[in-house]
Amino acid sequence: MTTSTVLRLTLLTAALTASSALAQTKQIIGVSIPSADHGWTAGVVYHANQAKAQLQKLYPTAQIIVKTAKDANEQANQIQDLYTINKITALVILPQESAPLTRPIANLKAKGVFITVVDRGLSDPKAQNAYVAGDNNGFGRVAGDYISAQLGAAGGNVVVLRGITSVVDNQRNAAFQAAIKKNANVKLLDSRYGNWNRDDAFKVMQDYLTRFPKIDAVWAADDDMAVGVLRAIQQAGRKDIKIVLGGAGMKEMVKRLIDGDPLIKANVTYPPSMIAEAMRLTVESRVKGTPLAASTIIPSVLITKANASKYYFPNSPF
């Protein structure tokens, strides 16, 4: 944190003393992301700050301002401030919610700001110049295919933990359900909201364990939720569960996978580093003046013991 502040200050000083020729090509890029309220968003904040330091070193004419917001309302105010006070020329935004932010973002685009939307699509795609996202359909599909393949012809009972009511969550679940339907012997017992956090997932899993005497696989859909699920299973001392599949590739879970945990045998990526990718693409395109593809999808892939080392980042907070 402090090094990036120092870096920012030196850059600011450099910018102030820079020649007028340089000032003309100066690009100010605003980055607006949700504040770190769970593991994945903490990863987003980490990768955004890492990318900021790297990109500013790589492109001295670019100034990057990273802001976090705790809800859609704060984020809408924030991007207004970024425009009027910081005079941004481009905005990379991971919207807290799609619908309420579409209009404020469209307003900025109308004023000539280049808009890159990350992860959560706007309700009107015309409000953005570029879209960089994880593959939510793929995230659900890969998970569903894996569980149904692991249960095999014998099939089994599956319970699902959902995140927070949102478009992302709906897409993932629809894709997951479509994938497990292909195996007629896999039975979906129930899906409940665990709100992408450990405590709620713990409670929901406890109640699943009370309610269903035989569960074969749990799609926890998120590694934070998987932590709570594992604790609940451990507490109940149940031996019937064979698979707990989280998601997003949290470092502790990838570590367990590498170490050969009996329940955690796979993971599905949904990298928080997509914010860094979006920032890199935007800064490059702005500084060099090259066009940016309207849509960039970062695929979700299955992590197994074989390829796990590629997805293990011990230094990231996530």
Partner 1 sequence: MSTPSPSPAPTPSPLSSVAAPGPTLLGRIGSLGPLLGLLALMLVATALNPDFLSVSNLTNILTRAAFTGIIAVGMTFVIISGGIDLSVGSLAALIAGGMILVMNALVPGLGAGWGTVLVGMAFALTLGAVAGFLHGFIITRGRIEAFIVTLGTLGIFRAVLTYLSQGGAISLDLGVSDRYSPVFYGSLLGVPIPILVFALVALVGGLILNRTRYGRYVQAIGSNEQVARYAAINVGGVKIATYVLLGVCVAIATTLYVPRLGSASPSTGLLWELEAIAAVIIGGTALKGGHGRIWGTVVGAILLVTIENVLNLTNIISVYLNAAVQGVVIILVAFFQRGGRK
| Binding positions for partner 1, rule: CB under 8 A | 35-39, 41-43, 45-46, 162, 165, 190-193, 195, 197-199, 202-204, 206-208, 210-211, 224, 227-228, 231, 235-236, 252, 317-318
**Closer CB to partner 1, 109 or 231, in the complex:** 231
Q: What order of strands is seen across the sheet that includes strand 114-118?
A: 62-69, 27-34, 90-93, 114-118, 130-134, 295-298
Nearest-angstrom CA–CA distance, 156 and 189: 10
Q: How far apart are CB 25 and partner 1 at their closest, in Å? A: 34
Q: How far apart are CB 312 and partner 1 at their closest, in Å? A: 16
**Closer CB to partner 1, 26 or 192, in the complex:** 192
**Closer CB to partner 1, 39 or 156, in the complex:** 39
Run of H or E residues at 219: strand 217-219
Run of H or E residues at 302: strand 302-303
Nearest-angstrom CA–CA distance, 196 and 162: 7
Q: How far apart are CB 203 and partner 1 at their closest, in Å? A: 6
Among candidates 132, 58, 47, which has minimal Cα distance to 95? 132
Q: How far apart are CB 120 and partner 1 at their closest, in Å? A: 18
**Closer CB to partner 1, 113 or 204, in the complex:** 204
Q: How far apart are CB 239 and partner 1 at their closest, in Å? A: 15
CA-based radius of gyration for the chain: 21
- Tell me which amino acid residue 227 is: V
**Closer CB to partner 1, 192 or 280, in the complex:** 192
Among candidates 118, 69, 75, which has minimal Cα distance to 93? 118
